[in-house]
Amino acid sequence: MAWLGVLYIGSLLLLFATAFWHTDPFTSKVIPGFTLENFQELVVQEAYRNTAVRTIGIALAVTILCAALALPLGLFMAKVAGPKLRAILAIGITLPLWAGYLVKVFSWRITFSQGGPLDWVLAPLGVDGMGYGQPAVVVTLAYLWFPYMAVPVYTAFRQIPDNLFNASADLGAKSWGTIRTVALPLLKPALIAGSIFTFSLSLGDYIAAQFVGGKTQMIGTVIAQNINLNPPLAAAFGLVPILVVVAYLFLARKSGALDAL
Amino acid sequence: MQLSRTAKFSLGAFAIVAMAGIYLPLLLVITNSFNATTSGAFPIQDWTTKWWVAAWHNEGVREALWTSIKVASIATVIALVLGTMISFALARYEFFGKHTVNLLVVLPIALPGIVTGVAFSNTFKHVFEPLGIGLGMLSVIVGHATFCVVMVFNNVQARLGRVNRGLEEAAMDMGANLFTTFSQVTFPAIRSALIAGGLLAFALSFDEIVVTTFTTAPGTETLPIWIFNNMSRPNQAPVVNVIAAVLIVFSMIPVYLSQKLTGDDRD
């Protein structure tokens, strides 16, 4: 029964160990030992450092974009829409989860393609579509992980009793004031829960970058490129998302959001 | 809630735009599969069904589809057996390190897929290859089974928490042995959780790309790997487009129907 567990945990530990090995530059053989070379290279090599920072930046941008879209949508679904419309929208935001990861990446590859739909829509306005690149990666990843943010935010909006809003209005707060001072603090746990998914899923992704990113490289790109040539370096880079995710979870726990899950 | 008319209106408009943003790209894939040009130029000038015919006769697609079905089925079966066993062990017995095991089981979905993929690739290369077991179908199945277990485990564990243990004890008191009790009492109670977990596991495995990329070898091509390999090839892109359109239709219709069936009486 434990064989899978042993295999998995064993693999993770071996990965951790491999990060401290090095590759013989002539034979490309991996030699066990203990060296901090790989980590040193990650920090010293500007390209690698930039890739790590860029990836974290993309993951943060995706998270912010998802939250910015999920908040008004969740508010509309929970407090404005009628029961029938609400049910349709609730299905509507979760349905794309089943449509297949590559299919969704492909749909944005078409959208952003040169002379494609986006260029066509924007042409009368005299604007060029942005084409493949970093913004396209952010949009595609946000599209992929949006349901993970939208569902908890919508659920949290539903749980806020209406009379809290009424009380706030009675005390003289305008719509915006109510949302900022009453709703947002109550939504914080849901936003953090959603952001854990949007952030960590974006952090490990490299396929979106490959197909809509143009020359954009992410941590995953470097791992994928090195997995055969220089496994220790790939392993060391593989530890970066683990560390960042653990740090993120730690911050989330500190803010108390995880208790509400 | 006290929202002004303008606020309600703009929220509604926003919802429409958001829904359009979610579904337009998918619709685009379906319409673009009838685009006669290979470049995907827009708007579509010539309509054709030739790519659908080409996709239907494509050997690579058929083989990849068959590989995907095999991998997903085997991984799901492994996940059903192991996931059930782990959830029973954690729900019914007290043992040292129980909380750690609880945490470790969900690790494969908590960590980015690329980490799982790299870890397995690394292990197979350094430990199993010298023993004669290289990367291939087996390593792909092991990789998939690892995260499929989590799906089954989550579903079964949630159900076990609500099953009345008194029923099992009653069955045993009446003389049923362990096997009869399981097949007559326990299994029927967790059956729907197993089906849900199994379906989820199958769907995840069928769609998986990252772990597969790192654990596969040339010769073992699942459908996502085939799509991945052919998406950038200009002359294959239209066939990929057709496959994508088929996947959208086939994955969403059943889910839509089942959600509609269960969703209507809930609200």
Give A70-119 pLDDT, tens digit per residue. Answer: 999 999 998 888 888 998 898 888 888 878 889 999 999 888 888 778 87
- Per the structure, the count of domains in chain B is 1
Q: Inspect the interface and report whether the beta carbons of A81 and B86 lie closer than 8 Å.
A: no
Identify each DSSP E strand in A56-210 by its residue range: none
Query: Does B136 map to a domain?
Result: yes
Predicted local confidence at residue B2, as pLDDT: 61
- Interface predicted TM-score (ipTM): 0.79
With respect to residue A108, please indicate whether it lies within any of the assigned structural domains: yes
Q: How many domains does chain A have?
A: 1
Q: Give the long-range contacts of residues A233-237, CB within 8 A, separation 24 or more.
A: A233/A23, A233/A38, A233/A41, A233/A42, A234/B118, A235/A15, A235/A16, A235/A18, A235/A19, A235/A21, A235/A38, A235/B118, A235/B122, A236/A19, A236/A38, A236/A39, A236/A41, A236/A42, A237/A42, A237/A48, A237/A52
**Once rounded to an integer, what is the mean pLDDT over residues A200-211?**
88
| A57-65: average pLDDT | 95
Q: Is A117's CB within 8 Å of B42's CB?
A: yes
Asked if A241 and A250 touch (Cβ cutoff 8 Å), the reply is no
Within a domain: residue B65?
yes
The predicted structure's pLDDT at residue B265? 41
- Residue B132, pLDDT score: 72
Is B246 within the bounds of a domain? no
Q: Tens digits of per-residue pLDDT, B30-43?
A: 888 888 777 666 77
Does some domain include residue B39?
no
Of A58 and B250, more confident:
A58
From chain A, pick out residues whose CB is under 8 angstroms from the CB of B131.
none
A89 to B19: CB separation less than 8 angstroms, yes or no: yes
> Taking all residues of chain B, what is their mean pLDDT, rounded to a whole number?
82
Residue B72: domain span: 59-238
Residue B21 lies in a domain: no
The answer to the question of residue A31 being in a domain is: no
Per-residue pLDDT at B264: 47
Q: Provide the pLDDT confidence category of residue A260 given band limits of 50, 70 and 90.
A: very low
Q: Are B116 and A240 in contact (CB under 8 A)?
A: no
For the stretch B19-73, pLDDT in tens is: 999 999 888 888 888 887 776 667 777 788 888 888 888 888 889 999 999 999 9
Domain contains B76: yes
**Domain-located, residue B115:** yes
A179-188, B131-140, B182-191: the lowest-pLDDT one? B131-140
Instruction: Between A72 and A18, name the one with better pLDDT.
Output: A72
What is the full DSSP assignment across B190-257? HHHHHHHHHHHHHHHHHH--HHHHHH--TT---HHHHHHHHTT-TTTHHHHHHHHHHHHHHHHHHHHH
Give the residue-averaged pLDDT of B98-119.
76
Residue A145, pLDDT score: 92
Residue B40 within any structural domain of the chain = no
Q: Kindly state whether residue A144 falls inside one of the protein's structural domains.
A: yes
Contact list, B126 vs chain A (CB under 8 Å): 14, 18, 30, 231
For chain A, how far is it from start to end, CA to CA, in angstroms? 29
Interface mutation target, options A76, A228, A240, chain B, most CBs of B under 10 Å: A76
The alpha-helical segments, DSSP class H, found in chain B are 5-32, 50-56, 59-92, 98-110, 113-123, 137-160, 165-173, 178-181, 187-207, 210-215, 223-230, 237-264
pLDDT at position A257: 55
Q: Which secondary-structure segment (H or E) carries A17?
A: helix A3-18
* Enclosing domain of residue A220: 52-260
Please compute the mean of the pLDDT values over residues A189-199 and round it to a whole number: 87
In a domain, A151, yes or no: yes
> Can you give the CATH number for the domain in which A251 is found?
1.10.3720.10
CATH of the domain at B118: 1.10.3720.10
pLDDT at B122 over 70: yes
